[in-house]
């Protein structure tokens, strides 16, 4: 029997448990707090009931999923798992503490994975006596709906573990991409300019929030504008990831956080979940219309697009992932309308280099340095695909 252990009964842990159980795995969902497990049970029953009502699953499938998941408060109950995925708070020391505890209660063949979105897998693995059995398996929220999973080997991870982990996750109906163990992996690294450059444009007073969002949706085909998406994610969560990536990259100015977002997070204006963020979600709040000016909208869209392309290209330059995996990750992980490197080929590498150089000439900031790979490709008349 295929057995999986999930550590952490929050939204992500419960979602991963649902995915594994749907594909016939026997799952043990662990949390030290019995109240968290009760909440997970109630949430899971509610989600499955809605899926059944909508005809997405049959009554027997609902029963099978519920039967496949057991809820435990002892870490030792995970001892017979062939794969354990940790999905707890984004705190390196807490995660390492859990991995150390697991040393005493899992088999030598068990794969131990972290669902961290940005922390070092190699550092987490160092807390385990068999670090070659450790790997990053990063799901996106909500786990049952989002197809993408990033697989991140630590420097210690064995080839056998990489292969086995990828096969298991693919058997759960997921699209797998492999990323180097660097801050943010693929998606949370490459997507930073979508938020960061939008905030920079706003902070400079070039345009207001609705106009920036309108420009990205109207001209780029993005389903949500950057401010809508930050409000959806939560300004506290989005800011924490930005700060984590910024610090992890030794304060590279490309990832510099915005004081605007920091202040909103400090004020409790977290977005949809608090009722107010960049937008006011009170039903009686006035709706501000965007400025629909072609020159302004083009300026906003082009600036954010070229920064996104530059970031994706730089990920290729530093061997974070392959060009195809980067584009696949951005489409499947954050619903971009197309891959950024495909976009680069379409608009022209020469345009990308010229636009990056214009930004650098204006600001003279390292934030706007053009990736060397783009200059090389322009010189050699190459494209990504």
Q: Which residues are catalytic?
A: 117, 138, 150, 188
Q: 6 near 87, Cβ under 8 Å?
A: yes
Strand ranges (E), the chain: 3-7, 26-30, 69-72, 83-86, 111-114, 134-139, 148-153, 175-178
Q: Which position has the token pair 């008349």?
A: 381
Q: Which residues pair with 27 in a beta bridge?
A: 4, 69
| Residues 6 or more apart whose Cβ sits within 8 Å of residue 56 | none
The number of residues making up the chain comes to: 385
C-alpha distances (whole Å) from 45 to each of 15, 50, 65 are 12, 9, 10
Q: 188 near 326, Cβ under 8 Å?
A: no
Q: Cα–Cα distance between 185 and 192 in angstroms, integer?
A: 12
Of 127, 129, 125, 122, nearest in space to 179 by CA: 122
Q: Cα–Cα distance between 142 and 14 in angstroms, integer?
A: 10
Q: Cα–Cα distance between 263 and 190 in angstroms, integer?
A: 24
Q: % helix / strand / coil in the chain, to the nearest 5?
A: 55, 10, 35
Q: Hey, how many other C-beta atoms are within 10 angstroms of the C-beta on 385?
A: 11
Specify burial of residue 278 (Cβ count, 10 A radius: 0-12, 13-18, 19+).
buried
For residue 142, cis peptide bond before it (omega within 30 degrees of 0): yes
- Dihedrals phi, psi of 123, to nearest 5 degrees: -70, -45
Of 179, 61, 159, 73, nearest in space to 116 by CA: 179
Of 260, 144, 248, nearest in space to 198 by CA: 260
């Amino acid at each position: 029997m295929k057995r999986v252990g999930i550590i952490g009964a929050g939204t992500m842990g419960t979602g991963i448990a649902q995915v594994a159980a749907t594909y016939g795995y026997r799952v043990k969902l662990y949390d030290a707090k019995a109240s968290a497990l009760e909440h997970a049970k109630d949430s899971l029953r509610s989600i499955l009931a809605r899926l059944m009502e909508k005809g997405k699953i049959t009554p027997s499938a609902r029963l099978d999923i519920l039967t496949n998941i057991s809820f435990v408060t002892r870490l030792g109950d995970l001892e017979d798992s062939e794969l354990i995925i940790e999905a707890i708070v984004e705190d390196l020391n807490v995660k390492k503490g859990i991995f150390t505890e697991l040393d005493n209660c899992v088999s030598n063949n068990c794969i131990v994975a972290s669902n961290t979105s940005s922390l070092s897998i190699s550092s987490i693995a160092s807390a385990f006596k068999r670090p070659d059995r450790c790997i990053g398996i990063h799901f996106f929220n909500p786990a049952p709906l989002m197809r993408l999973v990033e697989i991140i080997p630590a420097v210690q991870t064995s080839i056998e573990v990489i292969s086995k982990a990828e096969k298991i996750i693919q058997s759960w109906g997921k699209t797998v991409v492999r990323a180097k163990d660097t801050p943010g992996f693929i998606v949370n690294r490459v997507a930073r300019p979508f938020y960061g450059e939008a905030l920079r444009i706003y902070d400079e007073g070039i345009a207001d929030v609705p106009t920036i969002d309108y420009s990205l949706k109207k001209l780029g085909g993005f389903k949500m504008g950057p401010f809508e998406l930050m409000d959806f994610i939560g300004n506290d969560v989005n800011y924490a990831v930005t700060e984590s990536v910024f610090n992890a990259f030794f304060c590279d100015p490309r990832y510099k956080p915005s004081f605007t977002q920091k202040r909103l997070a400090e004020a409790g204006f977290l977005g949809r979940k608090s009722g107010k963020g960049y937008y006011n979600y009170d039903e009686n709040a006035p709706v501000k219309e965007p400025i629909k000016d072609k020159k302004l909208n083009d300026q906003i869209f082009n600036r954010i697009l070229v920064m996104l392309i530059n970031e994706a290209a730089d990920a290729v330059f530093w061997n974070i992932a392959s060009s195809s995996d980067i584009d696949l990750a951005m489409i499947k992980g954050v619903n971009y309308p197309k891959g950024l490197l495909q976009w680069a080929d379409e608009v022209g590498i020469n345009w990308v280099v010229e636009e990056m150089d214009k930004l650098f000439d204006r600001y003279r900031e390292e934030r706007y340095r053009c990736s060397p790979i783009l200059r090389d490709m322009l010189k050699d008349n190459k494209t990504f695909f």
